[in-house]
Amino acid sequence: MENGRIRVLIVEDDDDFAYLIRDQLSRQDDMEVVGRAYDRRSALSLAQSLSPQVVLMDLSLSTAQMDGVETARDIRIATDAKVVILTVYEDPKVVLDASCRSFASGYVFKSQFALIPETVRTTARGTTPQECMILSLVLDRLSPAERAVLDYILGRTPEPVSSPKTMANQKTSILRKLGLHSQRELLHIFRALPALQNC
């Protein structure tokens, strides 16, 4: 944060809704909207060049249904920004699944527009209950053995007692279940996430 102000990037293809968000956040003394992206390509480029603390990500950009998931995950892998999903979908199962797959820190239903500033504020300044819930659901996708390997990779526990082949298979399975391509991506994502015991 520069001068204590939270840098926010808006990723939203609806001009009217993007204007409303920008107008709302501009009224907050501790926030600064550093840019607005319309699609996946511009979102990643701006997130890398503008270094926002928080990205407000529309779940459904214009090019494909729910392509905000992939866009959010790209940003989480490539930058240190936290992502908050914005969505018209209010089915908790759909929204939580999207949040887990994108490693988002939280979500706001567009019908709850007034909650956006405080959600941005709490997300930027610490670990939120939403973030802990999403992390718990992400980790629930792993078996106990895979959790042990993940904790070892993250330097949180000693090396599990397993053969090299078993370890390699479990690492591959972790990456597949989490939709990641390398241990480098895994380390980057989880370095920015709280340890579950801290939630």
Q: How far apart are CA 144 and CA 134, in angstroms?
A: 18
DSSP state string for the chain: -BTTBEEEEEE-S-HHHHHHHHHHHHT-TTEEEEEEE-SHHHHHHHHHHH--SEEEEESS-TTSTTTHHHHHHHHHHHSS-EEEEEES---HHHHHHHHHHHT-SEEEEGGGGGGHHHHHHHHHHS--HHHHHHHHHHHTTS-HHHHHHHHHHTTSSPPPS--HHHHHHHHHHHHHHHT---HHHHHHHHHSSPPGGG-
Burial-class residue 12 by CB neighbours within 10 Å (0-12, 13-18, 19+): buried
> Could you tell me the pLDDT band of residue 62, with boundaries at 50, 70 and 90?
low
State the sign of the Cα–Cα–Cα–Cα dihedral 182, 75, 187, 87: negative
Q: How far apart are CA 117 and CA 138, in angstroms?
A: 26
Mean pLDDT of 67-75: 90
User: What confidence score (pLDDT) does residue 196 get?
Assistant: 64
Is 60 exceeded by the pLDDT of residue 42? yes
Lowest-confidence segment of 3-7, 64-68, 122-126, 165-169 by average pLDDT: 64-68
The domains located in the chain, with CATH, are 6-128 (3.40.50.2300), 141-198 (no CATH)
105: Cα separation from own chain's centroid? 5
User: What confidence score (pLDDT) does residue 171 get?
Assistant: 95
User: What confidence score (pLDDT) does residue 64 get?
Assistant: 57
Q: How far apart are CA 47 and CA 71, in angstroms?
A: 11
As a residue count, the chain comes to: 199
Q: Rank 12-16, 158-162, 172-176 by mean pLDDT and report only the highest.
A: 172-176
> Could you tell me the pLDDT band of residue 161, with boundaries at 50, 70 and 90?
confident
Q: What tens digit of pLDDT does each residue of 138-159 get?
A: 999 999 999 999 999 988 888 8
> Could you tell me the pLDDT band of residue 191, with boundaries at 50, 70 and 90?
confident
